[in-house]
Amino acid sequence: MDTRTSSAQRILQGFVRSVVPVLLALIVSALIMLAIGASPTEFFAGVWKYGVTGDNWQRSLVLMAPLVIVAVGLIVAFRGQLWNLGYNGQYLLGAVVASGLGPVLFGVMPAALATLIVFVVAVLAGAVWSLVPAILKARYGTNEIITSLVMSFIAVGVVNLLIKGVFKDPATTTPQTVVIPDDQLLPYIPGTEIHIGFVIAIVLAVVAQFVLSRTSFGLRVDIFGASPKAARHVGLNSTWMVILLFALSSGLIAFAGSIDILGQFSYQRADWDPRYGDAVMPLVFLARFRPIASLPFVAFYAVLATGGTLAAQQAGVNVDFLLVIVGLILLFMTITEYIGERRRLGQSYLPAGLRRTVTSLVRPSRPGRVSAFAPLAAPVDPADPADPGPTDPAATERTRA
């Protein structure tokens, strides 16, 4: 009974800590829009109109597919406290496998088999690309944030080279890959225009949730994430753990890229980079690295992004304003987290210095009991409270210097 109440409290608290930053971000972004002369009501109405109403909700769900898979990929690494920030490159690598290899394969074999091969190769490409940061981290303790990021830049360059080179569609002048015909793309869920990648993404999230929270592997990941020392103590092989988690994470993100090409875009242009990971990363933090919990946040962002593009134009702000909202979510998340943590520890919300200033403003005079004890000590020149007295040679030295 006792534990149940506390776990219910924890869920409630997690909910509050997750939703409050989003609300605050929306409020502040509305204020910013007012300040720059745009209409927040028009913007949010637009988001609703173009992101949800009519058949637009289907477009939002289509966008959700890659976002959810990227989220799961990030969660797998982040749970182990491995900060895989190479998601943009990993996503594009997976995408270019689909858009470059796809047209070739679809020409020589049945679509289902070709799709399967594309997926496998995409996952492998992502996993292999992550070996560099993973091995550097495992063997030499190199900071994986830097290495994965740098590997991402290289991946973006390589992908562009491929699209401008071997994968370029000779029939067009713009650097882009051959368009995959509609009948070879991923099928739609019957009755909708949502490709089955969405279903795959949801299934992946559910499976990841189960594996991470209910199995021995999930517990090992959590131990590794909580303390590499404890992991070593219970006999986990940290080298393999780093390589495995990085490969899983990177492979999943590359998978998202390939599913996006085969489900939605059907070809890829050079210098195209949707940067899904940038938007998803704060969301997985909000979801406390729980795959299922990330779903509503990703859905929220998918609607915001789908409807926001048109809505932003109508409301008179730049499309980049969407990233401002994401940035505000991150900012308020940090603040909520700080306050929540202090609350948990029973401390004042104010930093110590500020609190003293505030209390001294409220109660300017010190309590009288101090002076009551003053006669206990020898009198000292009140003009210099730091007067060290003649018995302190070290302090005299300080004054001389």
Partner 1 sequence: MTTTTTSEVISLRGITKAFPGVVANDDISLDIVSGQVHCLLGENGAGKSTLISILAGMQQPDSGTVSIGGQPVDISSPKVAVDLGIGVVHQHSTLVPAFTVLENLMLGDSGVMRDTKRATQRLGELAELLGVEIDPHALTSDLGLGQQQQVEIAKAMWKGSRLLVLDEPTSMLTPQAIEHLGESIARVKAQGLAVVLITHKLREAYAMGDCVTVLRGGRNVGHIGVDELASYSEEQAQDAILAAMFGDDLAAAGSDAVDLAGAGEAQRETAALDLSSRPVRLQLSGVTSRGPGHDVETEDVTLTVRAGEILGIAGIDGHGQQALSEVVAGQRPAASGTVVFDGEDITRTGVRSRQQLGVRYVTDDRLHEGTVGSMSVALNLVIKRIGQAPFWKSGRIQSKAVDIEADRLIAEYGIRTPSPATRAGTLSGGNIQKILLARELTGGAKLVVVNKPTYGLDLKTVHLVRELLIDFAADGGSVLLLSTDLDELIELSHRIEVISRGRLVGGVTNDGPGTAEKVGHYMTGAIEGTD
> CB 366 → partner 1: shortest distance, Å?
7
> CB 375 → partner 1: shortest distance, Å?
7
> CB 222 → partner 1: shortest distance, Å?
7
> CB 322 → partner 1: shortest distance, Å?
34
Comparison of 166 and 372: residue with beta carbon closer to partner 1: 372
Comparison of 215 and 318: residue with beta carbon closer to partner 1: 215
Closest to 252 measured CA to CA, from 212, 193, 296: 212
Beta carbons of 198 and 65 less than 8 angstroms apart: yes
Comparison of 59 and 220: residue with beta carbon closer to partner 1: 220
The 3-state secondary structure of 293-337, one letter per residue: HHHHHHHHHHHHHHHHHHHHHHHCCCCCHHHHHHHHHHHHHHHHH
> CB 83 → partner 1: shortest distance, Å?
18
User: What's the rounded Cα separation, in Å, for the pair 80 and 241?
Assistant: 8
Comparison of 181 and 389: residue with beta carbon closer to partner 1: 389
Comparison of 54 and 385: residue with beta carbon closer to partner 1: 385
Beta carbons of 212 and 291 less than 8 angstroms apart: yes
> CB 378 → partner 1: shortest distance, Å?
6
From residue 306, alpha-carbon distances to 47, 207, 243, 299 in Å are 8, 27, 35, 10
> CB 369 → partner 1: shortest distance, Å?
7
User: What's the rounded Cα separation, in Å, for the pair 283 and 71?
Assistant: 8
Residue 333 CB coordination number (10 Å):
21
Beta carbons of 251 and 123 less than 8 angstroms apart: yes
Beta carbons of 256 and 121 less than 8 angstroms apart: no
User: What's the rounded Cα separation, in Å, for the pair 43 and 63?
Assistant: 20
User: What's the rounded Cα separation, in Å, for the pair 385 and 376?
Assistant: 16
Comparison of 171 and 361: residue with beta carbon closer to partner 1: 361
Beta carbons of 256 and 276 less than 8 angstroms apart: yes
Closest to 260 measured CA to CA, from 391, 90, 113, 383: 90
Beta carbons of 246 and 79 less than 8 angstroms apart: no
> CB 200 → partner 1: shortest distance, Å?
23
Comparison of 125 and 244: residue with beta carbon closer to partner 1: 244
Comparison of 166 and 345: residue with beta carbon closer to partner 1: 345
> CB 138 → partner 1: shortest distance, Å?
11
Q: Which residues bind partner 1 (CB under 8 A)?
A: 2-3, 7, 214-217, 219-220, 222-223, 226-227, 229-230, 232-235, 345-346, 352-353, 356, 366, 369-370, 373-380, 382, 385-389, 391-398, 401
* DSSP-derived 3-state class of residue 87: helix
Q: How far is CA 392 from the centre of its chain?
A: 57
Q: Residues 6 or more apart from 363 whose CB is under 8 A from it?
A: none
> CB 225 → partner 1: shortest distance, Å?
9
Comparison of 8 and 199: residue with beta carbon closer to partner 1: 8
